[in-house]
Amino acid sequence: MKRVIPLLIALSLPLGFATGASAAEPVIFTQTVTVTTPSLNFACTPYGYSFNTLATFTVTRHYIQFYDDNGNLVKEIRHIDFTGTLYRSDDLSKTIPYAGNWTRTLDVAANTVTSTGLFRYSHPDGSGMVALDPGRTVQDAKTNATESDTGPTQIEWRMGVCAYLAAA
């Protein structure tokens, strides 16, 4: 018994120091935003069209934020889910639904933003997918340089939406 007590004390000391150096519990909250007035989303002019796209949407963001002992943000995980409508800027009767469901992770130490999941997609009335932007993209927060495992899907998504709105 005399040998067990010093052993237990020796084993518990590192645990005591480890808990003293740990950061606070994560901050968790949800935010929902609804935009009901069509506002600029992106331009179709780079793809040869004479109009822009406007958007209305509802987005819900679930945040999980991690801070160090000094109160500095070290990591943020944001689960994003949205649905909305894209409009042709010169004719608001021409529309296409769009939506997305993905996770955005900010790593302050690495200075990166990583997006994974179904970033956005569009389909007219459930009759088939017009455009899709899925996968994993890592963006350098300083230079905006990106790495994607799915290629330039944002451009392809925009081109598909613009083509659909032009023909609608």
SS3 of 18-49: the string is: HHHHCCCCCEEEEEEEEEEEEEEEEECHHHCC
User: Which residues does residue 147 pair with via DSSP β-bridges, in sequence order?
Assistant: 138
pLDDT tens for each residue of 105-159: 999 999 999 888 877 777 766 565 665 666 777 888 788 777 777 655 678 888 8
Residue 143 DSSP label: T
pLDDT tens for each residue of 88-106: 999 999 999 888 888 999 9
Residue 3 confidence class, pLDDT cut points 50, 70, 90: very low
State the average pLDDT over residues 54-66.
97
H or E stretch including 7? helix 4-21
Burial class (CB in 10 A: 0-12, 13-18, 19+), 137: buried
Residue 59 confidence class, pLDDT cut points 50, 70, 90: very high
pLDDT tens for each residue of 10-45: 444 444 444 444 567 999 999 999 999 999 999 999
Quick one: which of 71, 121, 85 has its CA closest to 101?
121
Helices (H) and strands (E) in the chain, counts: 2, 7
Query: Two tokens at 56?
Result: 């209305």
H or E stretch including 95? strand 91-107
Domains of the chain, by residue range, sit at 24-167
